[in-house]
């Protein structure tokens, strides 16, 4: 099987660092949107007293997620803040009372069937914890369960620096297998593959030991090639199946779930404590002591780094996530989100992009793209505004992994032009659809 992707430095400095629990900060800022889909509706108001695990945001609509208080205290404000993507998001600001009083209603869910299981997953507030933020109850709520041939557990963790999934496997491996058991019982799943890169020796040992007691769990050890954890890449490398353009993993009989997400679901089934904290990696060239920490959701990054040992120098760039796909933070006043699996602090040398020079038509961006896209031509057609050509170049399937930009000797900003090309195509298709609808007299018939 041909491997797709690139070899990059792993920098897994914290793989052997069990997470350290941080103390409760004075305030947390909890956004009502930490997931793909609609913003949750706040259920509390200024001045309310809330307890740990209490629901403070209700999922609104099918694609949304419940949100819970990570600390006990008083709701200081409900205010709109600008998220990293520039959108305005309502946030609940809670001032701690220092008591960390648990909410009285937190009891393990009673689950008897598939519908009850999906309801429990929804109430836990869990979303894809690998960074995707897709509501887990939607992903697992498959209508026709007979379509699931294989559940792929994404344990690749292929981005440099990040080791939070590694720690889940090492420290909470039994929860991963309890969730497998739950999926056997309530989803009828009969084949599981744990896809894991070969640079995680201890995690592989733990997973293999636990899998030895089963006859339907395969631990698939994969080369450490980025982006091994990309959903379609992982499906191909573990099963040889190719998800069709515009299709879903289920079209090839597969669902893919992040390993930490599954461990959390199993833990929730036993405790009833919803998603209120995150294990995340704190690393990067500006950090004094790289480590893994457990932080309450909503903790501000400035508080997090202070408790995590501080910085060696003023960071030039701070990222949610790893250096390949991470999102740059506008300031240190941003909170830890449900999807935050790492915060990387970069010094000037690490952060500054190399000088861009003209394209030399070497083709490296094409040969190193996991999907063999042509980012060089995508950039050209984007600049020309040629939507038809963008469609032909399949810009819509770009997963923004950054392999092309990483490998480009001219340091072209290829991911950025891919992103802009995707938006251009999406907008053009939406306008075309609207025009067609108007031509039909606005009828849906
Ligand atoms: S074109 Fe998209 S999918 Fe291909 S390497 Fe570049 S960012 Fe990744
Ligand atoms: S890798 Fe860079 S220099 Fe080479 S063809 Fe692609 S854009 Fe041009």
Give nearest CA residue, ligand 1 atom 5.
369
- Per-residue pLDDT of the chain in tens (445 residues, 90 and over written 9): 455 689 999 999 999 999 999 999 999 999 999 998 999 999 999 999 999 999 999 999 889 999 999 999 999 999 999 988 888 999 999 999 999 999 998 999 999 999 999 999 999 999 999 888 999 999 999 999 999 999 999 999 999 999 999 999 999 999 999 999 999 999 999 999 999 999 999 999 999 999 999 999 999 999 999 999 999 999 999 999 999 998 999 999 999 999 999 999 999 999 999 999 999 999 999 999 999 999 999 999 999 999 999 999 999 999 999 999 999 999 999 999 999 999 999 999 999 988 999 999 999 999 999 999 999 999 999 999 999 999 999 999 999 999 999 999 999 999 999 999 999 999 999 999 998 888 776 544 3
Q: Is the CB of 428 under 6 A from ligand 2?
A: no
Give nearest CA residue, ligand 2 atom 7.
376
Tell me whether residue 430 is exposed, middle or buried, using C-beta atoms within 10 angstroms of its C-beta: 0 to 12, 13 to 18, 19 or more: exposed
Task: Answer for the pair 304, 365: CB distance below 8 angstroms, yes or no.
Answer: no
The pLDDT, as a whole number, for residue 441 is: 60
The pLDDT, as a whole number, for residue 62 is: 82
Contacts of residue 360, Cβ cutoff 8 Å, sequence gap at least 6: 409, 410
Q: Cite the beta strand spans of 199-245 per DSSP E.
A: 217-222
Alpha carbon distance 263, 66 (integer Å)? 19
Q: Is the CB of 69 under 6 A from ligand 2?
A: no
Alpha carbon distance 72, 388 (integer Å)? 54
Q: Tell me: cis bond preceding 443? Omega within 30 of 0 counts.
A: no
Tell me whether residue 159 is exposed, middle or buried, using C-beta atoms within 10 angstroms of its C-beta: 0 to 12, 13 to 18, 19 or more: buried
Q: State the Cα angle at 298 between 296 and 300, rounded to 5°.
A: 100
Going by C-alpha positions, the residue among 245, 318, 324 that lies closest to residue 7 is: 324
Distance (Å) of CA 172 to CA 9, 214, 264, 356? 26, 18, 9, 44
The pLDDT, as a whole number, for residue 105 is: 80
The pLDDT, as a whole number, for residue 417 is: 96
- From 353, 359, 418, the mutation candidate for ligand 2 (largest count of ligand atoms within 8 A of CB) is 359
**What is the chain's Cα-based Rg?**
22
Task: Answer for the pair 54, 97: CB distance below 8 angstroms, yes or no.
Answer: no
- What DSSP string describes 329-366? -S-TTPBP-TT--EEEEE-HHHHSPPPP-------HHH
Residue 170: strand, helix, or coil: helix
The pLDDT, as a whole number, for residue 283 is: 98
Task: Report which ligand 1 atom has the smallest distance to the Cα of 414.
Answer: 6
Other C-beta atoms within 10 Å of 300: how many? 20
User: What would the pLDDT profile of 146-179 be if each residue is shown by its tens digit?
Assistant: 999 999 999 999 999 999 999 999 999 999 999 9
Ligand 2: centre distance to CA 404 (Å):
8
Among positive and negative, which fits the CA dihedral 177, 180, 186, 191?
negative
Please count the residues of the chain: 445
Alpha carbon distance 138, 122 (integer Å)? 8
Going by C-alpha positions, the residue among 259, 167, 160 that lies closest to residue 211 is: 259
Going by C-alpha positions, the residue among 208, 204, 210, 217 that lies closest to residue 151 is: 217
Ligand 1: centre distance to CA 89 (Å):
29
Class of 114-271 in CATH:
alpha beta
Q: Where along the chain do its domains lie?
A: 114-271, 364-439
The pLDDT, as a whole number, for residue 1 is: 47
Task: Report which ligand 2 atom has the smallest distance to the Cα of 360.
Answer: 3
Task: Answer for the pair 251, 146: CB distance below 8 angstroms, yes or no.
Answer: no
Instruction: For residue 293, list its beta bridge partners.
Output: 20, 280
């Amino acid at each position: 099987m041909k491997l797709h992707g690139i070899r990059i430095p792993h920098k897994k400095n914290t793989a052997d660092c069990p997470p350290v629990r941080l103390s409760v900060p004075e305030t947390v800022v909890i956004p009502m949107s930490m997931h793909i889909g609609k913003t949750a509706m706040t259920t509390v108001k200024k001045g309310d007293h809330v307890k740990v695990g209490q629901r403070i945001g209700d999922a609104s609509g099918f694609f949304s997620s419940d949100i819970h208080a990570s600390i006990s205290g008083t709701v200081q404000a409900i205010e709109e803040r600008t998220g990293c993507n520039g959108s305005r998001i309502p946030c609940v600001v809670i001032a701690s009372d220092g008591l960390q009083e648990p909410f009285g209603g937190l009891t393990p869910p009673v689950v008897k069937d598939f519908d009850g299981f999906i309801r429990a997953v929804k109430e836990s507030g869990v979303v894809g914890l690998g960074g995707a933020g897709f509501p887990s109850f939607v992903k697992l709520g498959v209508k026709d369960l007979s379509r699931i041939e294989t559940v792929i557990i994404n344990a690749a963790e292929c981005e440099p620096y990040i080791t939070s999934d590694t720690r889940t496997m090492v420290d909470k491996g039994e929860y991963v297998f309890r969730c497998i058991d739950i999926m056997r019982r309530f989803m009828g799943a009969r084949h599981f593959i744990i896809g894991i890169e070969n640079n995680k020796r201890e995690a592989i040992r733990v997973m293999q030991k636990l899998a030895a007691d089963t006859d339907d769990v395969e631990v698939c050890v994969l080369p450490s090639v980025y982006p091994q954890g990309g959903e379609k890449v992982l499906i191909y490398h573990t099963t040889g199946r190719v998800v069709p353009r515009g299709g879903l993993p289920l079209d090839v009989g597969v669902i893919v779930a992040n390993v930490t997400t599954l461990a959390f679901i199993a833990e929730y089934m036993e405790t009833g404590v919803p998603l209120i904290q995150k294990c995340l990696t704190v690393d990067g060239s500006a950090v004094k002591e790289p480590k893994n920490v457990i932080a309450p959701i909503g903790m501000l990054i400035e508080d997090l780094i202070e408790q995590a040992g501080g910085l060696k120098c003023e960071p030039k760039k701070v990222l949610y996530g790893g250096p390949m796909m991470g999102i740059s933070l506008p300031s240190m006043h941003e909170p830890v989100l449900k999807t935050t699996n790492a915060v990387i602090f970069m010094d000037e040398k690490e952060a500054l992009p190399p000088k861009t020079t003209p394209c030399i038509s070497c083709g490296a961006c094409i040969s190193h793209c996991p999907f063999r896209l042509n980012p060089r031509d995508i950039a050209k057609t984007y600049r020309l505004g040629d939507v038809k050509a963008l469609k032909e170049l399949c810009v819509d399937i770009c997963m923004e992994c950054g392999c092309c930009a990483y490998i480009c000797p001219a340091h072209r900003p290829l991911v950025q032009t891919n992103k802009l090309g995707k938006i251009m195509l999406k907008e053009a298709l939406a306008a075309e659809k609207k025009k067609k609808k108007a031509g039909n007299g606005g009828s849906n018939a």
